[in-house]
Structure 1
Amino acid sequence: MKLLAHDVDAHEMIPSTRLGDYFGQPGRIMGALFEATDRLRPDPTDTNMHVEADDVMEIDSDSIWKVKGPKAPSAIDLNRRVEVLDAMGIEKQLVFPTTAIAAMMVGGMTDFGFEQRFGGDTSMLEGLSRPEFSKMFLRAYNDWAIENANLADGRIRLVGIIPTSDDVNDMIGEIKRLIDGGVKGVYLQADVPPGGVSPAHSVMDPLWRLLEENNVTATLHIGTEFFFLDPRWTFAETFQDLFQSPEIPNTNIGMFATCHMAIDNYLNALVLGGVFERFPRLRLGLFEVGGHWVGPAARRMDMYCEVFPGSAAAKYPMKPSEYVARNVRVSPFNFEPVHRYIQDDPNLVDVFCYSTDYPHVEGTKDSMNKMLAKVEPLGEEITAKFFRTNAEWLLP
């Protein structure tokens, strides 16, 4: 491929044995949690966070496209990431956390969910409650994101985390701190109403305005769906075939097949609630929950505006699907038939973006060539949109 791509979803993957070096006390605690999880259900795969690893692997075409997990080049040392991007043919990359997602889950899960995913042992929390630990870790992670906010002159962009609070001013305050520190993207929780209200409520407008005015991208990502769906929905004998993901350890097919639902619901509130009408330059990325649902969601919202012509949403100057096309970008999984989604909904051709998910195993091996084989038959313009120009909206 001749053009340089952009990557809208990649990660750090600092292993449990090194977390204390980077995040202090909360890092040590999270490392012990990963160790306990590995004892509960030993993970022999590259997703295992409880490994001894140093960032020393040579950067070459085999290591960057085939090696996954904490041993992959620059999984730990982001100062090496620009070499990985150059080898991959990628210009800019959004870098999401790995462990901070897990820490947010630990703080927000029900006791049943925590036992299901992490084993239930809290002895390593050093007297902290799970929410207290989560808050401490997320603060340390955001500090680290600020310290690394301007790597490679903006080519590598770390995403800060904004946990949901009952007081939207708490969320706004942390966004301001991240913006002042140079962070260009924030990760919002999708599972519970922010500030105790709909994302479309006027009390949230200062938050959306802050992001819009500063050209900071809002994102929703897998890993924050634990309040949206009760984990008991997959508590059955037939759901005991577990597999490992850094964001959602000890998961199963039922959890993965529904991980988009919280984000679909959040997008529904934003679009039908008029947020993109009030904030036309608000940038939103939806990551690692698939792309299969996006076209049906856009068509569904269009349909209900016709069914309910007296609703506020039906009176906006644009259709819901048009707001999605203008304001929203989505990275499909690299095993999905994204070419079919584009063919089925050509009005959403500007929505879909390439991502590596590097160095997570869900990104699949040799993902760029796999996705190129799917979209290249659609023509040069669509190929350029998918690999580069669509993502420019999220990387101002």
Structure 2
Amino acid sequence: MTQTIIDADGHVIEDFDGLYDFLEGPLKGARLAGSMVSPLPWLDGWHALTDPLRWQATDARRWGEFLDATGIQASVLFPTAGLGHGIIENPDWAVRIARAYNRWLHATHLEPDARLKAVALLPVQDIPAAVEELRTTVTELGFVAALLPSVSHLGVTYGDPRFDPIFAEAQRLDVPVVLHGGSNHGLDVLQMLKPFGGTMPLHHPLPLLIHLNAMLYGGTFERFPTLRAGFFEAGSSWIAYMSDRLQYMYGVFKGLAPQMLAADRSPQEVLAEGRIYVTCEPNERFLDAGLRAVGDNNVLYASDFPHELEYEEYARELAKLLGRTDIARPVLDNIVGKSAARFYGLGA
């Protein structure tokens, strides 16, 4: 029997010229040659000066070759530059480029290869437009989740009720929302950690901690009792620490969390419900702790291709995960595929 292997978090490298072909209005078909204007902001002010081949725009052929080489049966695709979409100041441009990105991704990756799935980039700067875009991408383009940038210029967390219409639509459509690490824009505490390498260990997990805390204490999971949420690109061990920390503080200060108090459910009880998911790294020493925090069905394998690793290393990392002897075989089967199928609603 063939083992189910589903990559819960792969990436595309955007073709900026190609994105302009899918823009609505007078900029449709524009080209960037000789221009200093990029349709998406760079994530954090640091440019990738590593292997230039790794940062070439992806397409279905490149991704298909990767799936063939690794034995992965399906991958759910996230943006790269698009992870900084939340820091776009102009709401109109945020809406336009999110729509263009989603249609570019559908045409260049999903349509040519059915093994490729996608999360919809949502313009959180305009909530009604984000709801409309989520509905369209799921019902007409077959996207399997909503992407909420973990960092935005809005100065609020996703525990704020203003985002409830997005969660309501995701719940209605029965698709998950995913918060994915990306930009460190506005995370002033990280600016003391120079050079760039000093910020990297924190600028993915820190916003996830903040949003998870706010959504738990703000009652998001009470208002939307079947909503599934992913907190990706920070490994899994962090959620074990947060589980204990949130539980302790709830016990001491639960009077300050009226929404959670009214529902009479502690943070650990909400985490144990099976609606909160994280991705893992193959070599995490404390993977078992993350599993205990959210459950054996709620930790997912993420290739993160084509970021960070050399091409040959991805298959070795997957083999390393599959070869772990400290995690029970049924749990490993969940991690590498079955849990992602449940999370994204991919069926068999």
Q: TM-score range by the shorter chain?
A: 0.7 to 0.9
- 2:335 is aligned to 386
Per the TM alignment, residue 346 of structure 1 is displaced from its structure 2 partner at its CA by 6.0
**Residue 367 (1) aligns with residue 312 (2):** no
1:74-113 equivalences in 2 (<5 Å): 76-79=58-61, 81-82=63-64, 84-102=66-84, 104=85, 107=88
CA contact (8 A) 1:26 1:136 kept: no
CA contact (8 A) 1:149 1:181 kept: no
* Correspondence for 1:159 among 110, 115, 119: 119
Per the TM alignment, residue 30 of structure 1 is displaced from its structure 2 partner at its CA by 11
Q: For residues 80 and 250 of structure 2, what CA distance do their matches in structure 1 show?
A: 38
* Correspondence for 2:266 among 309, 319, 344: 319
Per the TM alignment, residue 291 of structure 1 is displaced from its structure 2 partner at its CA by 2.3
- 1:189 is aligned to 149
- 1:118 is aligned to none
* Correspondence for 1:205 among 164, 168, 177: 164
Per the TM alignment, residue 335 of structure 1 is displaced from its structure 2 partner at its CA by 4.5
Instruction: Give the secondary-structure state (helix, strand or coil) at the position aligned to 1:377.
Output: coil
Q: Which deviates more, 280-289 or 148-157?
A: 148-157
CA contact (8 A) 1:6 1:354 kept: yes
1:1-396 equivalences in 2 (<5 Å): 3-14=3-14, 19-24=16-21, 28=32, 45-46=50-51, 48=52, 68-70=54-56, 76-79=58-61, 81-82=63-64, 84-102=66-84, 104=85, 107=88, 136-147=96-107, 150-151=110-111, 155-165=115-125, 167-182=126-141, 183-192=143-152, 198-229=157-188, 232-234=191-193, 239-240=194-195, 251-310=196-255, 311-312=257-258, 313-325=260-272, 326-342=274-290, 345=292, 348-362=295-309, 364-365=313-314, 366-374=316-324, 376-396=325-345
Q: For residues 132 and 97 of structure 2, what CA distance do their matches in structure 1 show?
A: 17
Q: For residues 153 and 107 of structure 2, what CA distance do their matches in structure 1 show?
A: 30
Q: For residues 306 and 393 of structure 1, what CA distance do their matches in structure 2 show?
A: 32
Q: For residues 296 and 97 of structure 1, what CA distance do their matches in structure 2 show?
A: 28
Per the TM alignment, residue 82 of structure 1 is displaced from its structure 2 partner at its CA by 4.1
Q: For residues 351 and 220 of structure 1, what CA distance do their matches in structure 2 show?
A: 15
Q: TM-score, normalised by structure 1?
A: 0.70
CA contact (8 A) 2:182 2:203 kept: no
Instruction: Give the secondary-structure state (helix, strand or coil) at the position aligned to 1:286.
Output: strand
With over 3 angstroms needed to count, the CA separation of the structure-2 counterparts of 1:144 and 1:336, relative to structure 1, is same
With over 3 angstroms needed to count, the CA separation of the structure-2 counterparts of 1:3 and 1:30, relative to structure 1, is farther
Per the TM alignment, residue 218 of structure 1 is displaced from its structure 2 partner at its CA by 0.8
- Report Cα offsets for 1:70-113 as digits up to 9, x if no partner: 3xxxx6221553453244222221101123235x27736xxxxx
Q: For residues 165 and 238 of structure 2, what CA distance do their matches in structure 1 show?
A: 29
Per the TM alignment, residue 7 of structure 1 is displaced from its structure 2 partner at its CA by 0.7
CA contact (8 A) 1:220 1:263 kept: yes
Instruction: Give the secondary-structure state (helix, strand or coil) at the position aligned to 1:186.
Output: strand
Per the TM alignment, residue 33 of structure 1 is displaced from its structure 2 partner at its CA by 6.8
Per the TM alignment, residue 10 of structure 1 is displaced from its structure 2 partner at its CA by 0.3
Unaligned runs of 5+ in 1: 52-67, 109-129, 241-250
- Report Cα offsets for 1:346-395 as digits up to 9, x if no partner: 66333321111111125854210122233x33221221121122222322
CA RMSD of aligned residues (A): 3.5
With over 3 angstroms needed to count, the CA separation of the structure-2 counterparts of 1:163 and 1:304, relative to structure 1, is same
With over 3 angstroms needed to count, the CA separation of the structure-2 counterparts of 1:342 and 1:323, relative to structure 1, is same
- Report Cα offsets for 1:215-236 as digits up to 9, x if no partner: 22211112144124355333xx
With over 3 angstroms needed to count, the CA separation of the structure-2 counterparts of 1:30 and 1:214, relative to structure 1, is farther
CA contact (8 A) 2:184 2:190 kept: no
Equivalent pairs counted in the alignment come to 326
Instruction: Give the secondary-structure state (helix, strand or coil) at the position aligned to 2:300.
Output: coil
